[in-house]
A and B are shown apart, each in its own frame.
Chain A
């Protein structure tokens, strides 16, 4: 107790004689903002109430999905609908796993998402690094070319890309699912933004010590970029995991379906009314992602904020 109070007492004793007028006003507003934000006590509980209602509205589809996947088909169809399952059962999941090869879909999603993530981390970091930290001929052109495509709708490239992949003989292969997403402009933008904040002196110092460009990148720059890499990896993995249209077009047989494709194809047509099975399928698709998100949510939030601030 005495240790923390001592320094403050010491500074307190030193400061007031120098600038006595600034001390009091600097202290007062700090206390006010800390306690009540806008300076009024009233909106406090109101804020909690509004946000709480909003939170319930936003998350209720998830809660309802999870609860209903444990209900029997009869209970799901009951009017009025129930919240808590009367007789919780895992029958929906059991039947779903019997009918569909979910481990295979899961593997496919994981393989594709992992490969796309690794590719983006490597390639986007490399380009982002030189765009941020090097001065070379053609830099502006590269930057404009890559960022210019951020605004181009996916529909523009869909068919030419499919024709291209088909001509390469990659339809219904992992390569066909992975290659078009290995190098995404968004990653370049994100990594460049981060590398801009690394001091030049650090890189110059390594250069002066005789390190080659490749070595500087691998041993100096990349270790510093861990937070940005984590963000890029998570966002890319998630984007790939949830990607729907391209796998739907390219994966033509069941052994190459990703989870969303499998669920989408199962949920249309004759199975449209197997409510229990569909909800169980939705749970299987959503829950792994939600778990990962809850564990890594700090990185998500940092990353999204990072793209927005600068």
Chain B
């Protein structure tokens, strides 16, 4: 027994180690490992190909044809029309309206959500020793709640007569509007609701990120006379930048696709003032304009990617644009490190 077990580890290890230095030859171990790995990947990949990648490609095919719902029985009768659907999308006044609404929602909603979540996370992290778990759980509660139930409750909260919000505003002598029926206030209501539903996730992510901000830096700065705001601005924010970027990207991806809030609350109204691009796409699918709607969904995809790129520019590593101004030899050093 003892001789066997002693011999076993030696035998497979030696050739494995020797061959890993000559990877081009594709030794049998690598082939065997590849086979085993693909065995592990197969179940996921089969489902993934059929139910995710397949539909993504099918959607792209739809986007460049004039497919409508009645063509589904005879899909080979449809014609290839290239980018015609895309030009139609951009000249559609309703799409432009929806794009404007979506931009409003994203440009106001994302910074608002990030700022609120960051503020709460920083205060939770720094100013509080007790009830931390209670606050964290409380702020996270909306995240785990079904949007449908949220919609039911918020429709009451925002009700012009019996709603809680207007009652509270009334205490201060303000007569609240009919939130969801007003073209001015419907969108801010959506933004408030989305913010309420999203800050919990971001607070948890930011709290985790704040753990990596070294307290020694704060203490050193405090000794040098830096105030709370200065320390936040020059220590917390720069250290937290990767986390902020992550938070901004996932929030952005979600907000660009904003669909559920208007779907359950306003059906895009009043007067299309809460019609989002995703909702417009959904409607066009419903009307059977498959090619057109598929093209629009790809425009949405493009918007998601573009927004992520912009956020990487704004929140990504700040060193590169700044260094050349301050120190001249820096770019050379940068390149060398990059290699």
Report which A residues bind B (CB closer than 8 A).
Answer: 29, 32-33, 37-40, 43-44, 46-48, 50-51, 54-55, 58-62, 64-65, 68, 76-81, 119, 122-124, 126-127, 129-131, 134-139, 142, 145-146, 149, 151-161, 163-164, 179-180, 182-183, 185, 188, 207-208, 210, 213, 217, 238, 241-242, 244-245, 259-261, 263-264, 267, 275, 278-279, 281-283, 285-286, 289-290, 293-294, 297, 300-301, 304-305, 307-309
Q: Which one of B81-89, B131-139, B316-324 contacts A?
A: B131-139
B145 in contact with A263 (CB, 8 Å): no
CA distance A155 to B98 in the complex (A): 15
Q: Does B94 contact A (CB under 8 A)?
A: no
B127 in contact with A47 (CB, 8 Å): yes
CA distance A41 to B230 in the complex (A): 18
CA distance A278 to B218 in the complex (A): 50
B47: nearest chain-A partner, CB-CB: A183
B139 in contact with A159 (CB, 8 Å): no
For window 134-165 of chain B, which residues contact chain A by CB distance below 8 Å? 134-142, 144-154, 156-157, 161-164
CA distance A71 to B7 in the complex (A): 77
A145: nearest chain-B partner, CB-CB: B53
CA distance A223 to B180 in the complex (A): 51
CA distance A279 to B127 in the complex (A): 37
CA distance A44 to B130 in the complex (A): 11
Give min CB distance, A196 to chain B, whole Å: 15
In the complex, besides A64-B153, A136-B36, 11 extra interface pairs with C-beta distance below 8 angstroms are: A58-B142, A61-B153, A62-B145, A81-B164, A134-B36, A139-B37, A156-B56, A159-B290, A161-B51, A185-B52, A308-B209
**For residue A59, which residues in chain B have a CB less than 8 angstroms away from its CB?**
138, 141
Given contacts A81-B163, A293-B141, contact A244 B209 (CB under 8 A): no
Given contacts A60-B164, A282-B149, contact A33 B44 (CB under 8 A): no
**For residue B282, which residues in chain A have a CB less than 8 angstroms away from its CB?**
155, 158
A61 in contact with B154 (CB, 8 Å): yes
**For residue B207, which residues in chain A have a CB less than 8 angstroms away from its CB?**
305
B297 in contact with A155 (CB, 8 Å): yes
A151: nearest chain-B partner, CB-CB: B304
B267: nearest chain-A partner, CB-CB: A268
CA distance A78 to B156 in the complex (A): 12
Selected contact of B300 from candidates A60, A126, A155, CB within 8 Å: A155
Number of A-B contacts (CB under 8 A): 303
A149 in contact with B53 (CB, 8 Å): yes
B148 in contact with A152 (CB, 8 Å): no
Selected contact of B304 from candidates A131, A153, A259, A267, CB within 8 Å: A153
Selected contact of A267 from candidates B47, B151, B162, B205, CB within 8 Å: B151
- Chain B interface residue count, CB cutoff 8 Å, equals 107
**For residue A185, which residues in chain B have a CB less than 8 angstroms away from its CB?**
48, 52
**For residue B55, which residues in chain A have a CB less than 8 angstroms away from its CB?**
156-157, 160-161, 164
Q: Does B333 contact A (CB under 8 A)?
A: no
CA distance A275 to B153 in the complex (A): 10
B140 in contact with A301 (CB, 8 Å): yes
A308 in contact with B152 (CB, 8 Å): no
B152 in contact with A127 (CB, 8 Å): no
**For residue A149, which residues in chain B have a CB less than 8 angstroms away from its CB?**
48, 52-53, 56
B72: nearest chain-A partner, CB-CB: A163
**For residue B293, which residues in chain A have a CB less than 8 angstroms away from its CB?**
159
Q: Does B167 contact A (CB under 8 A)?
A: yes
**For residue B228, which residues in chain A have a CB less than 8 angstroms away from its CB?**
38, 40, 43
A280: nearest chain-B partner, CB-CB: B152
**Between-chain CB contacts (< 8 Å), 21 pairs:** A46-B127, A55-B134, A61-B150, A65-B149, A65-B152, A76-B162, A80-B167, A81-B163, A123-B43, A155-B259, A160-B294, A180-B51, A208-B8, A208-B12, A210-B8, A259-B146, A267-B152, A282-B149, A293-B140, A304-B205, A308-B204
